[in-house]
Amino acid sequence: MTDVDTLDGLRALVAEAEAAGTAEARWRAVAAVDPALVEHIIHGGSADVPSDSGVSQVVAVGTGASPGVAMGVVCLTTADVLDAVDRDEDALLVREETSPTDEVGMRMAVGILTARGGVTSHAAVVARGWGIPAVVGVPDMVVADEHVTLGDLQVDAGTMMSIDGRSGEVVVGAMEATEPSGLESVPELSVLLEWADEVRGERVGVRANADRAEDAARAREFGAEGIGLCRTEHMFLGNRLPLVRAFLLATSPNEETEALEALGAAQREDLKAVMVAMAPLPVTVRLLDAPLHEFLGEDGPEGWREHNPMLGTRGIRLAVLREGLYRMQVQAVLGALDDADGAGVHAHAAIMLPLVSTASELALVRGWVLDEIETWDPVEPLLVGTMIETPRAALLASEMAEHADFFSFGTNDLTQMVFGLSRDDVVQRMMGAYLELGLFPADPFAHLDGGVVAPLVAAATRSGRMVRPGMEVGVCGEHGGDPESIHLLVKAGVDSVSCSPFRVPVARLAVAQALIDLDG
């Protein structure tokens, strides 16, 4: 029973357990703390304000996608954000939805607010990874060229607005907020998390989803035991987008080769930085998996235009059509390992193939990967695994295991495909009504579905291990940082969960609590 939800309660609990000096007392303390308290300590939040206090009131409520409170002037473009920063003003980036072209504005903003999207949308995933407050999927919010409307209310660019990334509340004006305490200023929390790690032992690890060296370093500060998901497509945001576009739009072998060389050099440099930051802990590198519209725009050029890009030429499918892509990425991984070794750092990496549906496509592309590894002849062997994120792959996990050294469940896409719901569209249009009517017990993108998705993870894990006994199984979807989902995943038998760096402390506690519950 997690009934300790205040900082004073945490301090008293830790003091009592330290005085007792027993493992039983430490475990009881771990089991008693609400994971939401850990999140609040790290991110802070909005304060309870009486309705007659005169403080600006809530004008809209969306989906809280990344916790914390952000207050800044409304900026409708990246250029607006940069202008605000130049004026020494905090900027709140407000968009219909975000894409990789917004990367600079997202990084410079104090918070992100979008009209579309859910907890696994581009804005939500990036914001959580960077520890930036975000609210997404705000009903009746329309973003125009110089203003945003919330129902009947028009808010001009440059107006002060606030968001609470936990509750989803949006306020015009300043929001009363509590400052984050941070791990360093609450030693009792650090002690509790060490006890949680003691409970976990070697049973279930906690890793981070991280794509930049600074994210990897932050994840280590929060106690991550490696990187469970390094999304290589996130290394091509912002000013790297032209490199990907040049490859995709190449019209001759020479153009494609030149584009791949440029991509490979950039990828090798970035991967080395991530591996060095995380060494000697392992880094699982997922080869490119992004819907084409994120690189080419919504419409895309003729020949690449897709009506449903989330189910289009993504992941391993693009690699099958353009064989040089994954070969280049494997060479970049191997080169990064060599570069790290040359710098006196012993890094470890594994390669993960995404969005697989058939054993034959997995076998084909794995063969290319192994060819590149053999040509490079690394100091130590690299594991080559796959993400299980399509229902077919999960149901045929035993076939997949014949061609994979490990599994990692991508629960974002697995949930999307099991339910037949667009993870970017349903929140704004229907999720509220479904939850209000009791048609869904919870948003399945926020909390893992216990009816089908969690049992599917458990069944696929068992099937895979029947073919490869002892095969490592992880989870790298956003559910890997949600306490409710973690309980289901631990019960399903996974070896590790991976989540954004800022969710690692929560996951460390939640995994320990799940194991205590499992042990009875």
What is the full per-residue pLDDT of the chain (520 aa) written as tens digits? 678 999 999 999 999 999 999 999 999 999 999 999 999 898 877 655 444 444 567 899 999 999 999 999 999 999 999 999 999 999 999 999 988 788 889 999 999 999 988 888 889 989 998 989 999 999 889 999 999 999 889 999 999 999 999 999 999 998 877 777 677 789 999 999 999 999 999 999 999 999 999 999 999 999 999 999 999 988 877 677 888 888 888 889 999 999 899 999 999 999 999 999 999 999 999 999 977 777 776 555 766 777 777 788 889 999 999 899 999 999 999 999 999 999 999 999 999 999 999 999 999 999 999 999 999 888 788 999 999 999 999 999 999 999 999 999 999 999 999 999 987 777 667 888 899 899 999 999 999 999 999 999 999 999 999 999 999 999 998 899 999 999 999 999 999 999 999 999 999 999 999 999 998 7
Query: φ, ψ for residue 252 (rounded to 5)?
Result: -145, 155
| Per-residue CA distances from 89 to 146, 244, 456 (Å) | 18, 33, 48
User: What type of residue is 141?
Assistant: M
Rounded to an integer, what distance in angstroms lies between the CA atom of residue 328 and that of residue 263?
A: 8
The residues, ordered by sequence, that sit 6+ positions from 247 with a Cβ below 8 Å of its Cβ are 256, 259, 260, 263, 322, 325
**Which homologous superfamily is 205-382 in?**
Phosphoenolpyruvate-binding domains (3.20.20.60)
CATH of domain 58-178: 3.50.30.10
What are the start-end ranges of the H helices in 222-345? 241-248, 253-278, 293-296, 315-321, 324-342
Q: Which residues are catalytic?
A: 122, 476
Domain boundaries, the chain: 7-46, 58-178, 205-382, 385-494
Beta strands 384-388; 406-409: pairing state: parallel
Rounded to an integer, what distance in angstroms lies between the CA atom of residue 277 and that of residue 493?
A: 29
Which two tokens mark 450? 């216990």
Rounded to an integer, what distance in angstroms lies between the CA atom of residue 314 and that of residue 353?
A: 11
Q: How far apart are the first and last CA of the chain?
A: 12
Buried b (16+ CB within 10 A) or exposed e, 41-62: bbbbbbeebeeeeeebebbbbb
